[in-house]
Amino acid sequence: MAEAVKDDEMTVEERLARLQKQARVMMAVTAATLLLAGGGTAALFAYVGRATAHPADRPSEEEAQAEGGHGGAAAGDAHGSKPEGHGGGHGAAEAPAAGGAATDIHSFDPFVVNLLDAANVRYVKVRLAVETPDAAVAEEIRRRDAQLKDSVIAVLSNRTYADLQGIHGKNQVRDELLLRFNKLIGAGRVTRLYFTEFVVQ
Kindly give the residue spans of alpha helices, DSSP state H, lying in 52-165: 61-66, 135-143, 145-157
Q: How does pLDDT run across 150-164, given as a tens digit for each residue?
A: 999 999 999 999 999
192 vs 13, more confident: 192
Contact 185, 134 (CB under 8 A): no
d(CA 104, CA 22): 72
Domain locations in the chain as residue ranges: 2-51, 89-200
Q: Which pLDDT score, from 0 to 100, does residue 67 have?
A: 46
Q: How does pLDDT run across 59-75, given as a tens digit for each residue?
A: 444 444 444 444 433 33
* Residue type present at position 145: D
Full-model pTM:
0.51
State which H helix or E strand residue 56 sits in: none
Q: How does pLDDT run across 15-49, given as a tens digit for each residue?
A: 878 888 888 887 777 777 777 777 666 665 655 55
d(CA 199, CA 11): 66
5 vs 24, more confident: 24
Q: Which CATH class is domain 89-200?
A: alpha beta
Residue 36, judged by CB atoms within 10 A of its CB (0-12, 13-18, 19+), counts as: exposed
Query: Is the per-residue pLDDT at 87 higher than 60?
Result: no
Q: Which pLDDT score, from 0 to 100, does residue 54 have?
A: 44
d(CA 201, CA 196): 17
d(CA 119, CA 114): 12
